[in-house]
Amino acid sequence: MVDQAPAADSVTGDLVATGSNAGRQFPPKGELQITGINRIGLGSLYLKEIRRFLKVQTQTVWAPAVTTLLFLVIFTVALGRGGREILGVNFGTFVAPGLIMMGMMQNAFANSSFSLLAGKLQGTIIDLLMPPLSEAELMIGIVAAAITRAVMVGGAVALAMVLYPGVDMHVAHPWAVVWFGLMGAAMLAIFGLLASIWAEKFDHNAAITNFIVAPLSLLSGTFYVISNLSPFFQTLSKLNPFFYMISGFRYGFLGVSDIGNDNAHVVSAAIGVGVLNLVLGFITYRVLKSGWKIKS
């Protein structure tokens, strides 16, 4: 026997159970049925994003690792000859942590900046907006997947660095490696999500990558210490958040940094990048919640 569909009450308009559904209570209209965090939905979105970039892992994980390794080869050959040392270590050991951090940040941005933008252009963004996910859960799922890709790329680059002759990957302060690595990836993942909300075509996304992310990465002290710069450009470098991410990450490996003269400056930088991510995350959440360029 087929169950009868619930009928509407002629007075109140509420659904009334009929047939074998009699006695079953239907929730009032408009009442939330999923309270707290939608763990199943959030986990499904995270896995979807992970599987998306792992399907083309040669392009999304291994190719960036090879490209970053080429930077090490070129710069160590060009600048690392003659026993050149920076911060008390050879040039290859100095530049390796910066390259790892740079690769992580750039790929975190690339991953999070693709999801919403591709959905807008292909007309599939409804697949992200219709499920019972809050704006916070949507943001967390996309950002967490981008951080995961960043960690995978960083691990692949670090493995290559370990095998590269003349590079010492000894870790002096594990907390700094973990903190600055995650904060750097999170910052670019959140920024990438914000960029994908704003962008209307892939050219817009590429413009942010080419004119903002790449220059700030390369001019953040990845290949040099800012003490070699003039006072004016030292000040500009200290206004670049990428500088603190890369220098803090390098501090975790070398135990020294050009952030300041003592470890207190590194701790202050660690707190600062955490606050910056909170502010950037709140801004992105509010923009996402407003539906700007997404729901209109």
pLDDT tens, position by position, 96-130 = 999 999 999 999 999 999 988 988 888 888 888 88
Distances from the Cα of 221 to the Cαs of 33, 34, 197, 253, in angstroms?
A: 50, 47, 30, 15
Domain boundaries, the chain: 38-290
pLDDT at 11: 47
Tell whether the model's pLDDT for residue 265 goes beyond 50: yes
* DSSP 8-state code for residue 3: P
77 has a pLDDT exceeding 70:
yes
The rounded distance, in Å, linking the Cα atoms of 69 and 43 is: 33
93, 86 Cβ separation under 8 angstroms: no
Does the pLDDT of residue 1 top 50, yes or no? no
pTM for this entry = 0.86
User: Can you tell me the distance from the alpha carbon of 229 to that of 178, in angstroms, rounded to the nearest whole number?
Assistant: 29
Helix (H/G/I), strand (E/B), else coil: 86: strand
Q: Which of 77-81, 142-146, 156-160 has the lowest mean pLDDT?
A: 77-81
How far apart are the C-alpha atoms of 242 and 267, rounded to whole Å?
16
pLDDT digits 0-9 by tens, 209-257 = 999 999 999 889 888 899 888 999 999 999 999 999 999 999 999 999 8
